[in-house]
Amino acid sequence: MTSGPQNFLVEIGTEELPPLALSELSATFAKGIEDGLAAARLDHGPVVAYATPRRLAVLVPLLAARQPDEEVRRRGPPVNAAFDAQGKPTKAATAFADSCGTTVQGLGRLREEKGEYLFFTGKRAGATTPQLLPGIVAKSLDALPIPRRMRWGSGDAEFVRPVHWVVMLFGRSVVPATILGVVAGNETRGHRFHAPQAIRITEPSAYAPALREKGHVIADLAERRERIRKGVVEAADRNGRHAIASEELLDAVAALVEWPVPVVGRFEERFLELPREVLIATLQDHQRYFPIEDRSGNLAAAFVAISNIESRDPARVVSGNERVVRPRLADAAFFWDNDRKRSLASRVEALKGVIFQTKLGSLYDKTQRVRSLAQSIAQTIGGDDAAAARAAELAKCDLLTSLVGEFPELQGTMGGHFARHDREPDAVAQAIAEQYLPRFAGDQLPRSKPGMALAVADKLDTICGAFAIGQRPTGARDPFGLRRAALGVLRIAIELKLEVDLKALIVTASAAQPVKNSLSAEIYDYMMERLRAYYLEDSGISGMSSEVFDAVLVNQPASPLDFDARVRAVADFLSLPEAPALTAANKRIANILRQAADAPVSAFGDIDHKLFEKDEERTLFAALEKNRRDVGTWLRERRYGDAMKRLASLRGPVDAFFDAVMVMHDNPRIRAQRLGLLRALRELFMHTADLSRLGA
């Protein structure tokens, strides 16, 4: 075997892997290989991951042929225990020498404070890469995120799906190994139908080209996904239309096929009478087809399907896909027609028979709690409280329809359609449709004020109810989706600029729960931690940090919108040249006031000019007096940015004060007055945030 770097390939050939997990399995496998090579001190080029429904593979270019030799330094037994009275080596000495691969005579001695010891210095030859690779691969496979592993045949191997072949090549040589009960070789498998015969891989870099040219398999997941996207777009364009190709659907289809071939199918025009969302859900979620729109944005009676075979008779493939989708659409049409025979209002009473949660009552009970809270929120934000109350009353009724039973992801959305059919006011229908927004990170927010009120009320009721029954989220479990709900409430308040008292709303929602509790403060703290994540992960605020967040959190703002204004003001303030000095001064002031907690402190209005001994005291007092009125007005108006910029002008007087003035004067009246100046200064800053928490 060549002593220089070689390319390395490992491929695990399986039965069809779970499509939703394929990307994560592939990335984790590649990361495991990379980490294993790093731990083994083996240099290599950029790692490449491959994944198809029937394989996980990793290519490592220019992998070192062996580990570098390692310098070994070991301390052995004490000299007085290593030799007997006659100076002969004891078992302790010979055993240590044997473990080092040398003789007692080859050992050195090391003198330390506690005595003299035998000592070995030498080199350990690095292992060859083929010796190390089986263990690295096995460990990487064991670490894959597989919730439930399966066995097959009579063997003991366990994996996400049965394994049928394994390729392990280092250069042109097969790495001797048995992985998951399969002996490694150099033969892969191509497309199940186009190329069922074995394909020999002569060298790792030939892997992807061989699969493409001989096996009808595109091994690269990202490349396959892009080929699908282009194929779908081109197929729709050829028909003068536009394809709806969501990122999620592209991911899913790329994980289902190895050789994507787009085909255009059609269905009866009558199904276009279905709500747009129902049609899209049927095609996209149930069938993994790409819906097609005309140039005006209206859905067309057509779709693009991705076949996993290049048929000699494409018409049969098209016909098969059309035949499969037709009954799905017919079922959806039946549910749509049948569900509209009863109004949403006629289903309210039936909510009493559906348990929301055993301790929290039925969906009817939840509806009544949300109705009251939504009406109150709507009044606060200037919305139509009657529309919010009516929307809350009908909000959960679509859960009792067959259509939502078939398409649970359309809950709320279908409620809006049913409400319009029932001739409910548009504001009510829109609020029902918006009640679950935002459903996920980055999702759209409600646009109507009744919808905002209903969305906030529903989420807060769920959060407070879950806390009341002890179902707080843990690292691994969040059965009520409280993280998403909390972030949704905060996004609605901040991004839509709604002035709401979050603390008061939490108290109200908690008090309405059937399980009485006193957890309002804990719930507020939980939501503030979600707000911290919101700012740190994707706020786009320059200078934002956990310290900035904590500095604002000290004041416990009840309004998320107020919190946001403070955070932005502090982050902007930190970009000013005066910020470091004023932050340090705030720390110093906080420490002085803490140490003098029991000492008398003069109120700012009681300052006696006759007690000033130094000009720096007079200057600081004058600067405070000059700025307090304007800053106070701006703080009441939440113009925190303006206030902080004005306070930055105090840097000079503050620095001069600390340079020239001894605060803890022997005269108690002078000391009280100087402490009063510092307290007045700190209070001005504290109205926005505790700057003493910033910086080193």
19-45 pLDDT, tens digit per residue, is: 999 999 999 999 999 999 999 999 999
Taking the C-alpha atoms of residue 32 and residue 58, their distance in angstroms, rounded to an integer, is 10
Position 5 scores a pLDDT of 95
Q: Is residue 544 part of a domain?
A: no
- Alpha helix locations (H) across 340-383? 363-381
Please give the residue that has the higher pLDDT: either 228 or 644. Answer: 228
Taking the C-alpha atoms of residue 274 and residue 91, their distance in angstroms, rounded to an integer, is 88
Residues 422 and 309 in one domain: no
Does the CA dihedral 255-258-264-269 come out positive or negative?
Answer: negative
Position 255 scores a pLDDT of 97
pLDDT above 70: residue 639? yes
Residues 168 and 273 in one domain: no
Q: Which CATH number characterizes residue 681's domain?
A: 1.10.730.10
pLDDT above 80: residue 605? no
At 85, the pLDDT band (50, 70, 90 cuts) reads confident
Q: Which two tokens stand for residue 40?
A: 């083994």
Q: Is residue 34 part of a domain?
A: yes
pLDDT above 90: residue 113? no
Per residue in 480-517, pLDDT (tens digit) is 999 999 999 999 999 999 999 999 999 999 999 999 99
Taking the C-alpha atoms of residue 552 and residue 688, their distance in angstroms, rounded to an integer, is 7
* Residue % of the chain over a pLDDT of 90: 69
Q: Which of 215, 240, 275 is the last residue of a domain?
A: 215
Residues 160 and 99 in one domain: no
pLDDT above 90: residue 324? yes
At 174, the pLDDT band (50, 70, 90 cuts) reads very high
Q: Which CATH number characterizes residue 451's domain?
A: 1.10.3210
Position 2 scores a pLDDT of 56
Backbone phi, psi, residue 267, to 5°: -140, 170
Q: Is residue 400 part of a domain?
A: yes
Q: Which two tokens stand for residue 116?
A: 């003299």
Residues 356 and 477 in one domain: yes
Q: Is residue 530 part of a domain?
A: yes
Taking the C-alpha atoms of residue 668 and residue 210, their distance in angstroms, rounded to an integer, is 90
Q: Which two tokens stand for residue 383?
A: 């919305």
Residues 578 and 604 in one domain: yes
Residues 56 and 152 in one domain: yes
Residues 464 and 384 in one domain: yes
Q: Which of 488, 444, 443 is nearest to 463 (CA)?
A: 488
Q: Is residue 550 part of a domain?
A: no
Pairing of strands 70-78, 115-124: antiparallel
Number of Cβ within a 10 Å radius of residue 155: 12
pLDDT above 90: residue 594? no
Looking at residue 148, the DSSP 8-state letter turns out to be S
Per residue in 575-587, pLDDT (tens digit) is 888 888 888 888 8
Position 537 scores a pLDDT of 86
Q: Which of 538, 563, 592 is the last residue of a domain?
A: 538
Q: Is residue 113 part of a domain?
A: yes
Q: What is the CA radius of gyration of the chain?
A: 35
Per-range mean pLDDT, top range of 162-166, 194-198, 602-606: 162-166
Number of Cβ within a 10 Å radius of residue 392: 30
Residues 443 and 510 in one domain: yes
Taking the C-alpha atoms of residue 491 and residue 585, their distance in angstroms, rounded to an integer, is 35
Q: Is residue 559 part of a domain?
A: no
pLDDT above 50: residue 404? yes
Position 228 scores a pLDDT of 97
- Collect all residues with Cβ–Cβ distance below 8 Å to 287 and sequence separation of at least 6: 303, 305, 321, 324, 325, 328
Q: Mean pLDDT, the chain, as a whole number?
A: 92
pTM of the model: 0.81
* Residue % of the chain over a pLDDT of 70: 99
Please give the residue that has the higher pLDDT: either 132 or 605. Answer: 132
Per residue in 216-261, pLDDT (tens digit) is 999 999 999 999 999 999 999 987 889 999 999 999 999 999 999 9
As for how many domains the chain has, the answer is: 5
Residues 437 and 489 in one domain: yes
Q: Is residue 258 part of a domain?
A: yes
At 667, the pLDDT band (50, 70, 90 cuts) reads confident
* Structural domain containing residue 186: 6-66+128-215
Taking the C-alpha atoms of residue 42 and residue 246, their distance in angstroms, rounded to an integer, is 41
Furthest-apart CA atoms within the chain: distance in Å: 108
CB-based contact 28:49 (threshold 8 Å): no
Residues 449 and 516 in one domain: yes
Position 1 scores a pLDDT of 46
Looking at residue 178, the DSSP 8-state letter turns out to be E
Q: Which of 396, 393, 269, 281 is nearest to 335 (CA)?
A: 281
| Averaged pLDDT for residues 360-389 | 97
Residues 136 and 13 in one domain: yes
198's enclosing H/E stretch is strand 198-200
Position 235 scores a pLDDT of 92
* Half-sphere exposure of residue 62: CA atoms within 13 angstroms, side-chain side: 4
CB-based contact 119:82 (threshold 8 Å): no
Q: Which CATH number characterizes residue 42's domain?
A: 3.30.70
Number of Cβ within a 10 Å radius of residue 664: 12
Residues 85 and 21 in one domain: no
Q: Which of 235, 220, 227 is nearest to 290 (CA)?
A: 235
- 3-class SS at 627? helix
| Averaged pLDDT for residues 371-395 | 97
Write the secondary structure of 15-54 as one string of H (helix), E (strand) and C (coil). CCCCHHHHHHHHHHHHHHHHHHHHHCCCCCCCCEEEEECC
* Half-sphere exposure of residue 578: CA atoms within 13 angstroms, side-chain side: 17
Q: Which of 186, 215, 244 is the last residue of a domain?
A: 215
Taking the C-alpha atoms of residue 492 and residue 446, their distance in angstroms, rounded to an integer, is 8
pLDDT above 80: residue 427? yes
Position 301 scores a pLDDT of 95
Taking the C-alpha atoms of residue 378 and residue 169, their distance in angstroms, rounded to an integer, is 66
Q: Which of 227, 225, 195, 230 is nearest to 213 (CA)?
A: 195
